[in-house]
Amino acid sequence: MKQHCILWSICLLFAFPLLGQDLSQRAGEFLNSLSSEIKEKATFPFDHSERFNWHFIPRDRKGANFHDFNEKQRKAALRLLKASMGDPGVEKTEAIFELEKVLRVVEDRPANDRYRDPENYYFSIFGDPSSDKPWGWRLEGHHVSLNFSSANNKIISSTPTFLGSNPAIVPGHVDLHTGMQVLVKETNGGFELLHSLDKGQLELAIYDDKAPYDIITGNDRKVSLLSPKGISYTQLSPDQQRKLLELLGVYLANYSKEIENNMWEKIKQDGYESLHFAWAGSTKNAIGEPHYYRIQCPSLLIEYDNVQNNANHVHTVVRDLSNDFGEDVLRNHYTFGHSHKKRNQTSE
Protein backbone atom coordinates (compact mmCIF):
# COMPACT_ATOMS: atom_id res chain seq x y z
CA MET A 1 0.00 0.00 0.00
CA LYS A 2 2.84 2.41 0.83
CA GLN A 3 4.27 1.87 -2.64
CA HIS A 4 0.94 2.82 -4.22
CA CYS A 5 0.73 5.94 -2.02
CA ILE A 6 4.26 7.01 -2.94
CA LEU A 7 3.54 6.45 -6.63
CA TRP A 8 0.44 8.59 -6.63
CA SER A 9 2.05 11.28 -4.45
CA ILE A 10 4.73 11.63 -7.12
CA CYS A 11 2.07 11.83 -9.83
CA LEU A 12 0.18 14.52 -7.93
CA LEU A 13 3.35 16.46 -7.19
CA PHE A 14 3.95 17.00 -10.89
CA ALA A 15 0.30 17.25 -11.92
CA PHE A 16 -1.11 20.64 -12.88
CA PRO A 17 -4.38 21.88 -14.47
CA LEU A 18 -3.73 21.25 -18.14
CA LEU A 19 -7.29 21.73 -19.32
CA GLY A 20 -8.99 24.14 -16.92
CA GLN A 21 -7.39 27.24 -18.37
CA ASP A 22 -9.05 26.83 -21.78
CA LEU A 23 -12.35 25.23 -20.74
CA SER A 24 -14.21 28.53 -20.45
CA GLN A 25 -12.66 29.65 -23.73
CA ARG A 26 -13.85 26.48 -25.49
CA ALA A 27 -17.35 26.87 -24.06
CA GLY A 28 -17.40 30.51 -25.16
CA GLU A 29 -16.27 29.59 -28.68
CA PHE A 30 -19.03 27.00 -28.88
CA LEU A 31 -21.69 29.45 -27.71
CA ASN A 32 -20.42 32.22 -30.00
CA SER A 33 -20.64 29.87 -32.97
CA LEU A 34 -24.38 29.35 -32.44
CA SER A 35 -27.23 31.33 -33.88
CA SER A 36 -29.49 33.04 -31.35
CA GLU A 37 -32.15 30.38 -31.96
CA ILE A 38 -29.82 27.46 -31.31
CA LYS A 39 -28.19 29.22 -28.37
CA GLU A 40 -31.58 29.61 -26.74
CA LYS A 41 -32.07 25.83 -26.98
CA ALA A 42 -28.60 25.10 -25.62
CA THR A 43 -28.42 27.41 -22.60
CA PHE A 44 -29.98 27.33 -19.14
CA PRO A 45 -29.40 29.14 -15.83
CA PHE A 46 -26.83 27.35 -13.71
CA ASP A 47 -29.40 26.62 -11.00
CA HIS A 48 -32.01 25.28 -13.41
CA SER A 49 -33.47 21.88 -12.47
CA GLU A 50 -32.59 20.60 -15.96
CA ARG A 51 -28.94 20.33 -14.85
CA PHE A 52 -29.89 17.34 -12.73
CA ASN A 53 -32.26 15.76 -15.28
CA TRP A 54 -29.85 13.15 -16.56
CA HIS A 55 -30.45 9.73 -18.09
CA PHE A 56 -28.87 7.24 -20.48
CA ILE A 57 -31.87 5.82 -22.36
CA PRO A 58 -33.19 7.00 -25.75
CA ARG A 59 -35.64 9.77 -24.87
CA ASP A 60 -36.55 13.36 -25.68
CA ARG A 61 -33.97 15.76 -24.31
CA LYS A 62 -33.39 19.48 -23.97
CA GLY A 63 -30.38 21.22 -25.44
CA ALA A 64 -29.00 21.47 -28.97
CA ASN A 65 -27.92 18.34 -30.83
CA PHE A 66 -25.75 17.61 -33.85
CA HIS A 67 -28.77 17.98 -36.15
CA ASP A 68 -28.84 21.65 -35.14
CA PHE A 69 -25.18 22.29 -35.93
CA ASN A 70 -23.33 23.22 -39.09
CA GLU A 71 -19.78 21.93 -39.49
CA LYS A 72 -18.20 24.88 -37.65
CA GLN A 73 -20.58 24.49 -34.72
CA ARG A 74 -20.05 20.74 -34.62
CA LYS A 75 -16.27 21.19 -34.42
CA ALA A 76 -16.67 23.77 -31.64
CA ALA A 77 -18.88 21.36 -29.69
CA LEU A 78 -16.35 18.55 -30.02
CA ARG A 79 -13.49 20.86 -28.98
CA LEU A 80 -15.41 21.53 -25.77
CA LEU A 81 -15.70 17.79 -25.20
CA LYS A 82 -11.97 17.30 -25.78
CA ALA A 83 -11.16 20.13 -23.38
CA SER A 84 -13.22 18.44 -20.67
CA MET A 85 -12.14 14.79 -20.78
CA GLY A 86 -9.09 12.61 -21.19
CA ASP A 87 -8.35 10.97 -24.55
CA PRO A 88 -9.81 7.56 -23.56
CA GLY A 89 -13.08 9.20 -22.51
CA VAL A 90 -13.35 11.15 -25.76
CA GLU A 91 -12.58 8.06 -27.86
CA LYS A 92 -15.20 5.96 -26.07
CA THR A 93 -17.82 8.69 -26.34
CA GLU A 94 -17.34 9.11 -30.08
CA ALA A 95 -17.36 5.32 -30.55
CA ILE A 96 -20.69 5.12 -28.71
CA PHE A 97 -22.09 7.65 -31.20
CA GLU A 98 -21.07 5.24 -33.97
CA LEU A 99 -22.85 2.32 -32.31
CA GLU A 100 -26.16 4.02 -33.08
CA LYS A 101 -25.46 3.22 -36.73
CA VAL A 102 -24.89 -0.41 -35.77
CA LEU A 103 -28.22 -0.52 -33.93
CA ARG A 104 -29.95 0.78 -37.05
CA VAL A 105 -28.61 -2.22 -38.92
CA VAL A 106 -29.27 -4.73 -36.12
CA GLU A 107 -32.85 -3.51 -35.69
CA ASP A 108 -33.45 -3.14 -39.43
CA ARG A 109 -34.26 0.55 -39.18
CA PRO A 110 -34.13 3.05 -42.07
CA ALA A 111 -30.98 5.10 -42.68
CA ASN A 112 -32.68 8.29 -41.51
CA ASP A 113 -34.11 6.78 -38.31
CA ARG A 114 -34.08 9.24 -35.41
CA TYR A 115 -34.50 6.73 -32.58
CA ARG A 116 -31.10 5.12 -33.24
CA ASP A 117 -29.26 8.21 -34.38
CA PRO A 118 -25.58 9.21 -34.04
CA GLU A 119 -26.59 12.86 -34.42
CA ASN A 120 -29.04 12.71 -31.53
CA TYR A 121 -26.63 13.82 -28.79
CA TYR A 122 -27.38 17.03 -26.94
CA PHE A 123 -25.09 19.80 -25.69
CA SER A 124 -26.33 22.03 -22.87
CA ILE A 125 -24.57 24.91 -21.11
CA PHE A 126 -25.65 25.88 -17.60
CA GLY A 127 -24.69 29.39 -16.53
CA ASP A 128 -22.22 31.78 -18.14
CA PRO A 129 -18.73 30.42 -18.91
CA SER A 130 -17.40 33.97 -19.34
CA SER A 131 -18.30 35.05 -15.80
CA ASP A 132 -16.52 34.34 -12.54
CA LYS A 133 -19.55 32.43 -11.26
CA PRO A 134 -19.90 28.63 -11.35
CA TRP A 135 -21.18 27.13 -14.58
CA GLY A 136 -21.48 23.70 -16.10
CA TRP A 137 -22.24 21.77 -19.22
CA ARG A 138 -23.64 18.41 -20.27
CA LEU A 139 -23.39 16.05 -23.22
CA GLU A 140 -26.14 13.48 -23.28
CA GLY A 141 -27.90 10.95 -25.48
CA HIS A 142 -28.34 7.19 -25.69
CA HIS A 143 -25.66 5.53 -23.54
CA VAL A 144 -23.82 8.80 -22.88
CA SER A 145 -24.31 11.19 -19.99
CA LEU A 146 -21.35 13.46 -19.22
CA ASN A 147 -21.91 16.12 -16.58
CA PHE A 148 -19.34 18.83 -15.85
CA SER A 149 -19.28 21.58 -13.24
CA SER A 150 -16.76 24.41 -13.29
CA ALA A 151 -15.64 27.11 -10.87
CA ASN A 152 -12.61 29.38 -10.82
CA ASN A 153 -11.95 28.50 -14.48
CA LYS A 154 -11.42 24.79 -13.88
CA ILE A 155 -13.50 21.63 -13.77
CA ILE A 156 -14.51 20.78 -10.22
CA SER A 157 -16.66 17.76 -11.05
CA SER A 158 -17.12 15.38 -13.98
CA THR A 159 -19.77 13.11 -12.48
CA PRO A 160 -22.22 11.47 -12.78
CA THR A 161 -20.59 9.78 -15.78
CA PHE A 162 -22.44 7.13 -17.76
CA LEU A 163 -21.01 5.27 -20.74
CA GLY A 164 -22.76 2.28 -22.29
CA SER A 165 -22.28 0.01 -25.27
CA ASN A 166 -24.94 -1.83 -27.27
CA PRO A 167 -23.80 -4.13 -28.70
CA ALA A 168 -21.00 -4.72 -26.23
CA ILE A 169 -19.29 -6.63 -29.04
CA VAL A 170 -20.55 -5.94 -32.56
CA PRO A 171 -21.49 -9.38 -33.95
CA GLY A 172 -20.01 -10.84 -37.11
CA HIS A 173 -23.25 -10.80 -39.09
CA VAL A 174 -23.34 -6.98 -38.91
CA ASP A 175 -21.40 -5.55 -41.83
CA LEU A 176 -20.44 -2.40 -39.92
CA HIS A 177 -17.78 -2.07 -37.19
CA THR A 178 -17.68 -5.87 -36.87
CA GLY A 179 -15.93 -6.96 -33.66
CA MET A 180 -15.90 -3.44 -32.20
CA GLN A 181 -15.87 -3.51 -28.36
CA VAL A 182 -16.00 0.00 -26.95
CA LEU A 183 -15.72 -0.91 -23.26
CA VAL A 184 -13.34 -3.84 -23.66
CA LYS A 185 -10.97 -2.75 -20.87
CA GLU A 186 -13.82 -2.41 -18.40
CA THR A 187 -15.00 -5.92 -19.28
CA ASN A 188 -11.67 -7.73 -19.48
CA GLY A 189 -10.23 -5.98 -16.45
CA GLY A 190 -13.14 -7.12 -14.30
CA PHE A 191 -12.80 -10.73 -15.43
CA GLU A 192 -9.01 -10.67 -15.07
CA LEU A 193 -9.35 -9.69 -11.42
CA LEU A 194 -12.19 -12.17 -10.81
CA HIS A 195 -10.30 -15.07 -12.40
CA SER A 196 -7.21 -14.35 -10.29
CA LEU A 197 -9.14 -15.10 -7.08
CA ASP A 198 -8.87 -18.45 -5.34
CA LYS A 199 -11.89 -20.43 -4.13
CA GLY A 200 -12.06 -18.75 -0.74
CA GLN A 201 -11.71 -15.29 -2.25
CA LEU A 202 -14.42 -16.03 -4.83
CA GLU A 203 -16.81 -16.90 -2.02
CA LEU A 204 -16.20 -13.42 -0.62
CA ALA A 205 -16.30 -11.55 -3.94
CA ILE A 206 -19.43 -13.14 -5.49
CA TYR A 207 -22.43 -11.98 -3.49
CA ASP A 208 -25.15 -13.30 -5.84
CA ASP A 209 -25.25 -15.89 -8.61
CA LYS A 210 -27.69 -13.70 -10.55
CA ALA A 211 -26.73 -10.28 -11.94
CA PRO A 212 -29.12 -7.35 -11.49
CA TYR A 213 -30.94 -6.34 -14.67
CA ASP A 214 -29.25 -2.92 -14.73
CA ILE A 215 -26.99 -0.67 -12.70
CA ILE A 216 -28.50 -0.45 -9.24
CA THR A 217 -28.23 3.31 -8.77
CA GLY A 218 -30.10 4.09 -12.03
CA ASN A 219 -30.27 7.80 -12.79
CA ASP A 220 -30.74 8.94 -9.19
CA ARG A 221 -29.72 12.54 -8.69
CA LYS A 222 -27.91 11.67 -5.47
CA VAL A 223 -26.81 8.22 -4.39
CA SER A 224 -25.49 6.84 -1.16
CA LEU A 225 -22.83 4.19 -0.82
CA LEU A 226 -24.34 0.78 -1.45
CA SER A 227 -23.76 -1.92 1.11
CA PRO A 228 -20.04 -2.77 0.88
CA LYS A 229 -20.38 -6.30 -0.45
CA GLY A 230 -17.63 -8.39 -1.96
CA ILE A 231 -13.96 -8.73 -1.17
CA SER A 232 -11.89 -5.94 0.35
CA TYR A 233 -8.54 -4.65 -0.84
CA THR A 234 -6.85 -6.10 2.26
CA GLN A 235 -8.10 -9.60 1.38
CA LEU A 236 -6.30 -9.52 -1.97
CA SER A 237 -2.73 -10.50 -2.75
CA PRO A 238 -0.34 -7.74 -3.90
CA ASP A 239 -0.81 -8.80 -7.55
CA GLN A 240 -4.59 -8.81 -7.15
CA GLN A 241 -4.44 -5.40 -5.49
CA ARG A 242 -2.57 -4.17 -8.54
CA LYS A 243 -5.26 -5.60 -10.83
CA LEU A 244 -7.98 -3.84 -8.82
CA LEU A 245 -6.18 -0.49 -9.01
CA GLU A 246 -5.57 -0.97 -12.73
CA LEU A 247 -9.28 -1.63 -13.27
CA LEU A 248 -10.12 1.44 -11.24
CA GLY A 249 -7.62 3.38 -13.35
CA VAL A 250 -9.46 2.38 -16.56
CA TYR A 251 -12.45 4.39 -15.38
CA LEU A 252 -10.51 7.34 -13.98
CA ALA A 253 -8.41 7.71 -17.15
CA ASN A 254 -11.57 8.85 -18.95
CA TYR A 255 -11.30 12.19 -17.15
CA SER A 256 -9.06 15.19 -17.48
CA LYS A 257 -5.75 14.75 -15.64
CA GLU A 258 -6.82 17.20 -12.98
CA ILE A 259 -10.05 15.34 -12.19
CA GLU A 260 -8.31 11.96 -12.45
CA ASN A 261 -5.69 13.04 -9.92
CA ASN A 262 -8.33 14.54 -7.61
CA MET A 263 -10.26 11.28 -7.62
CA TRP A 264 -7.15 9.24 -6.86
CA GLU A 265 -6.35 11.62 -4.01
CA LYS A 266 -9.84 11.14 -2.51
CA ILE A 267 -9.46 7.36 -2.75
CA LYS A 268 -6.08 7.61 -1.03
CA GLN A 269 -7.64 9.68 1.73
CA ASP A 270 -10.33 7.02 2.18
CA GLY A 271 -7.52 4.45 2.32
CA TYR A 272 -7.05 1.67 -0.21
CA GLU A 273 -8.12 -0.73 2.52
CA SER A 274 -11.66 0.69 2.17
CA LEU A 275 -11.94 -0.46 -1.46
CA HIS A 276 -14.31 -3.35 -2.17
CA PHE A 277 -14.86 -5.40 -5.32
CA ALA A 278 -18.20 -7.20 -5.59
CA TRP A 279 -19.45 -9.54 -8.32
CA ALA A 280 -22.84 -10.98 -9.28
CA GLY A 281 -23.84 -13.38 -12.05
CA SER A 282 -21.83 -15.54 -14.40
CA THR A 283 -18.06 -15.88 -14.11
CA LYS A 284 -17.70 -16.61 -17.85
CA ASN A 285 -16.50 -13.84 -20.14
CA ALA A 286 -18.82 -14.57 -23.04
CA ILE A 287 -21.95 -13.30 -24.76
CA GLY A 288 -25.00 -14.89 -23.16
CA GLU A 289 -23.44 -14.90 -19.66
CA PRO A 290 -25.01 -12.04 -17.60
CA HIS A 291 -22.67 -10.46 -15.08
CA TYR A 292 -22.23 -7.39 -12.89
CA TYR A 293 -19.54 -5.88 -10.70
CA ARG A 294 -18.97 -2.81 -8.63
CA ILE A 295 -16.01 -1.06 -7.07
CA GLN A 296 -16.61 1.15 -4.08
CA CYS A 297 -15.05 3.10 -1.27
CA PRO A 298 -16.53 5.90 0.86
CA SER A 299 -15.99 8.57 -1.81
CA LEU A 300 -16.56 6.67 -5.06
CA LEU A 301 -18.95 4.13 -6.58
CA ILE A 302 -18.44 2.41 -9.94
CA GLU A 303 -20.99 0.00 -11.42
CA TYR A 304 -20.66 -2.27 -14.46
CA ASP A 305 -23.54 -4.33 -15.79
CA ASN A 306 -23.82 -6.64 -18.81
CA VAL A 307 -27.19 -8.40 -18.79
CA GLN A 308 -29.51 -7.10 -21.50
CA ASN A 309 -29.65 -8.32 -25.12
CA ASN A 310 -28.35 -11.76 -24.22
CA ALA A 311 -25.58 -10.22 -22.12
CA ASN A 312 -24.14 -8.22 -25.00
CA HIS A 313 -25.08 -4.76 -23.72
CA VAL A 314 -22.83 -2.98 -21.20
CA HIS A 315 -23.69 -0.15 -18.83
CA THR A 316 -21.09 1.64 -16.70
CA VAL A 317 -21.48 4.52 -14.28
CA VAL A 318 -19.12 6.48 -12.03
CA ARG A 319 -20.52 8.41 -9.07
CA ASP A 320 -18.55 10.73 -6.81
CA LEU A 321 -20.50 10.21 -3.62
CA SER A 322 -19.73 13.64 -2.18
CA ASN A 323 -19.30 15.74 -5.32
CA ASP A 324 -21.68 14.67 -8.12
CA PHE A 325 -22.65 17.83 -10.04
CA GLY A 326 -19.93 19.63 -8.06
CA GLU A 327 -22.17 19.86 -5.02
CA ASP A 328 -19.47 19.48 -2.38
CA VAL A 329 -17.07 21.99 -3.92
CA LEU A 330 -19.88 24.38 -4.79
CA ARG A 331 -21.21 24.23 -1.24
CA ASN A 332 -17.85 25.47 -0.01
CA HIS A 333 -17.70 27.98 -2.87
CA TYR A 334 -20.96 29.59 -1.83
CA THR A 335 -20.30 29.31 1.90
CA PHE A 336 -16.75 30.62 2.01
CA GLY A 337 -15.95 32.13 -1.36
CA HIS A 338 -18.90 34.37 -2.16
CA SER A 339 -21.36 36.50 -0.28
CA HIS A 340 -23.94 36.64 -3.08
CA LYS A 341 -27.17 34.70 -2.66
CA LYS A 342 -28.04 31.82 -4.93
CA ARG A 343 -30.91 32.30 -7.29
CA ASN A 344 -34.05 30.28 -6.69
CA GLN A 345 -34.17 27.08 -8.71
CA THR A 346 -36.27 27.24 -11.84
CA SER A 347 -38.24 24.34 -13.19
CA GLU A 348 -40.33 23.74 -16.22
pLDDT number for residue 19: 42
- CB–CB of 168/180 below 8 Å? no
The per-residue pLDDT for range 250-299, each reduced to its tens digit, is 999 999 999 999 999 999 999 999 999 999 999 999 999 999 999 999 99
Q: Buried b vs exposed e over 189-215: b needs ≥16 C-beta within 10 Å?
A: bbbebbeebeeebeebbbeeeebeebb
Amino acid at 140: E
Give the model's pLDDT for residue 152: 82
pLDDT attached to residue 230: 98
User: Is residue 89 packed enough to be buried (19+ CB in 10 Å), middle (13-18) or exposed (0-12)?
Assistant: buried
E-strand ranges in 102-191 read: 122-126, 135-141, 144-151, 154-157, 161-165
* pTM score over 0.75: yes
For the chain, give the number of residues. Answer: 348
Q: Please report, rounded to a whole number, the percentage of residues in the chain having pLDDT higher than 90.
A: 84
Judged against a pLDDT cut of 90, whether residue 342 lies above it is answered with no
pLDDT digits (tens, 9 = 90+) for 299-330: 999 999 999 999 999 999 999 999 999 988 78
* pLDDT band per the 50, 70, 90 thresholds, residue 9: very low
More confident residue, 1 or 198: 198
Q: What pLDDT is attached to residue 227?
A: 87
First CA to last CA distance, the chain:
50
pLDDT value at position 6? 37
Look at residue 332 in the predicted model and tell me its pLDDT: 66
pLDDT at site 11:
40
What confidence tens digit (pLDDT) does each residue in 88-137 have?
999 999 999 999 999 999 999 999 999 999 999 999 999 999 988 999 99
Contacting residues for 312 by C-beta, under 8 A, at least 6 apart: 166, 167, 168, 169, 171, 287, 288, 306
- Burial code (b: 16+ CB inside 10 Å, e: under 16) for 110-119 equals eeeeeebbbe
pLDDT > 60? residue 21: no
